[in-house]
Structure 1
Amino acid sequence: MTIRAREASKLFNSNKLAALADGDYSYVEKVAREFLNQDVSKIAVCDIYDHTYQRLSQEYRSEYYFKNTIARRRLLGRHSLKTATMLSEFRVGSSKADCVILNGKSTCYEIKSEYDTLNRLEEQLNDYLKLFDEVYVVCSAKNLESVLKAADERVGVLELTRKNYFSEKRAATPRVDPINVDLLVKSLRKEEYIELVRRNTGVIPSVPNSKLVSFCKSALKTVDPEQIATSFIEVLKEKRLNDSNLLNALPSSLINAAISYQFSSLQVEALKSIFGACKESRCISHTSEESSLS
């Protein structure tokens, strides 16, 4: 019995990784047997993930694959975890931005894979353009022309090529309009917009909860918009810091998982142990091979 690429891609879902962390290897073994045709007793967990990811890069590039490629090539390829943070599914008005990378500026990436429709694209981009410094749509060749026609001219367009590199088809135009404070406050968590007010006005709000949002919006509207835009990035980088220890412990196919998924502290330690052991055994094996050749 074999399984298709779409089903195998569930290996990268949060619930499957949580199950693995809790000691349930059943789905990992199923993918090894029925998708990779491997003897589970002769292949390491990290190799199952790597080999599956490699096949999916040719057979089924899901939203997860796009996000992981953004994390690899944009977050880690261009920046450092010491200076940049990536957010996943960041709420903006009635939309959720697939990926947002924060360094000295805020860059939003909206994914439109070949399995997505463009039904809400205009609405989504209208929200993002009010908040982020730059906005991109990342798409496959299948819907490239449709995206170029549908997206606002200020929005950049990146094609994820068949070789799994980004090809910039249109550069993003940096935001020139003032950041939309109402939308910003609506997009932040309570502790984040309170901190934003404190940093920019020196005031710690002491009003009833029923009046807190209104107070914070009014306070922030007295501040220079560019100062707000800069502070917004700084606050989010501090409050939503990526777990560099987990990122460094997991294979490159799971970078997005470390960023996007919420695991318990016990699950985090278990995943670090499972994949850390794989990396260590690879190093030992590699060293042994070098010794035998010398």
Structure 2
Amino acid sequence: MNMDKSLNKLFTIKSLNNLIYERNVDNYKKIVNKLNGKPNEMLNLQNLKLIYKYMSVHHRNEYFYKNTLLNKILLGRHSINTSTAIRELPIDGNILDFLIVNGTGSVYEIKTELDNLQRLKKQLDAYYRAFSFCNVVTDETHLKEIKRDINIPELGILVLTKRNTLHEEKKAKEKTNHLNHKTMFRILRKYEFENILMNEFGYLPDINSLRYYDECFKMFRHINIFHAQKLMLAQLKRRCNINSNNLGSFNNVPKEIKFIIYFSNYKKNDFNKLNSFLYKKTKEM
């Protein structure tokens, strides 16, 4: 059994949904059997905590980093009522790992101990076209190389220590000289840039569908670049699945799977099924 690959598969929305609806539990049970001598006598919640603890020592993969960022920064430093987290945002051919939007947009690009740094400079160049605050979140083994090779004075650096705390090695500073209308416009969904244009100009282009997108962009690029960024951030901030209807249920989710549930768009029935799964013994599945 390749434990690393099995762990990577386990902590996903699809995998968790398979577990709580008992559609495919084989991978989960294999991991539990390997880590726990008496898995069937423990609750699934206890086994998930055991698996996550193992990951914290032996396999701090991208999920572990993202979940740590969500718990310690979004939920720890900010308020879920005033801030929104976005994951895997496409930007000019790159995928931004993690973004927190409140009054500003703070980028967190993850480089785990399992990653290399070959594309990092290119990724950061793309992110600075839309966002003014960028951070690299990394392992201590990458720290020296990042500080030596990435010559961006404004770049923030966070280190996930061996004790699994986030150490701010270098605080991010605002960088605005690379902001680009096209990059920001491409990030927006159709209804989002339409909201912006209607609010700013009071109308949308009355033109055939083939030219509609280009005409909308022509309008967008006439907005002051800093104001355009502010308007983009306001739209991105609305992309949140947690609201007054499910906040109480979300607050009760164990920290080990907070990241998954935050991005899952769970309804009341889903939370009920999750709760049932967590407090069920593995042998009952």
TM range (shorter): 0.7 to 0.9
Structure 1 residue aligned with 2:55: 56
- Output the CA distance in 1 between the equivalents of 2:29 and 2:48: 11
Moved over 6 A (4+): 278-281
Taking CA–CA contacts closer than 8 Å with sequence separation of 6 or more, which of the two structures ends up with the larger relative contact order?
2
1:205 Cα shift?
3.5
Structure 1 residue aligned with 2:124: 125
Count of matched residue pairs: 274
The one-letter amino acid of 1:28's match is Y
Equivalent position SS for 2:177: coil
C-alpha spacing 1:22/1:208, structure 2 compared with 1 (3 Å): farther
Structure 2 residue aligned with 1:289: none
Structure 2 residue aligned with 1:85: 84
- Structure 2 residue 255 is the aligned partner of structure 1 residue 252: yes
- Output the CA distance in 1 between the equivalents of 2:260 and 2:79: 18
CA shift digits 1:58-89 (9 cap, x unpaired): 11100000000010011111111211110000
CA shift digits 1:136-161 (9 cap, x unpaired): 00000111111122322221111111
Equivalent position SS for 2:88: strand
The one-letter amino acid of 2:12's match is N
- Output the CA distance in 1 between the equivalents of 2:148 and 2:43: 46
Pairwise CA RMSD: 2.3
- Structure 2 residue 29 is the aligned partner of structure 1 residue 26: no
| Alpha carbons 2:140, 2:160 under 8 Å: kept | yes
1:197 Cα shift?
1.7
- Point out where structure 1 has 5 or more consecutive residues left out of the alignment: 282-294
CA shift digits 1:136-188 (9 cap, x unpaired): 00000111111122322221111111111111112212123373110111122
Structure 2 residue aligned with 1:215: 215
Structure 2 residue aligned with 1:197: 197
The one-letter amino acid of 2:39's match is D
C-alpha spacing 1:3/1:221, structure 2 compared with 1 (3 Å): closer
1:210 Cα shift?
1.9
1:104 Cα shift?
0.7
Equivalent position SS for 1:88: strand
1:110 Cα shift?
0.4
The one-letter amino acid of 2:197's match is V
1:33 Cα shift?
1.5
Equivalent position SS for 1:58: helix
CA shift digits 1:239-261 (9 cap, x unpaired): x113352633431111211234x
C-alpha spacing 1:20/1:138, structure 2 compared with 1 (3 Å): same
- Output the CA distance in 1 between the equivalents of 2:121 and 2:102: 26
C-alpha spacing 1:126/1:280, structure 2 compared with 1 (3 Å): same
Structure with the larger helix share: 1
Equivalent position SS for 1:164: coil
The one-letter amino acid of 1:137's match is V
- Aligned positions of 1:65-214 closer than 5 A: 65-151=64-150, 152-177=152-177, 179-214=179-214
Equivalent position SS for 2:30: helix
| Alpha carbons 1:112, 1:140 under 8 Å: kept | yes
Structure 1 residue aligned with 2:7: 8
Q: TM-score, normalised by structure 2?
A: 0.87
The one-letter amino acid of 2:120's match is L
Structure 2 residue aligned with 1:286: none
- Output the CA distance in 2 between the equivalents of 1:256 and 1:14: 9
- Output the CA distance in 1 between the equivalents of 2:57 and 2:273: 27
The percent of aligned pairs where both chains have the same amino acid is: 24
| Alpha carbons 1:243, 1:259 under 8 Å: kept | yes
Which of 157-166 and 14-23 deviates more? 14-23
The one-letter amino acid of 2:259's match is N
- Structure 2 residue 231 is the aligned partner of structure 1 residue 231: yes
- Point out where structure 2 has 5 or more consecutive residues left out of the alignment: 281-285
1:37 Cα shift?
2.6
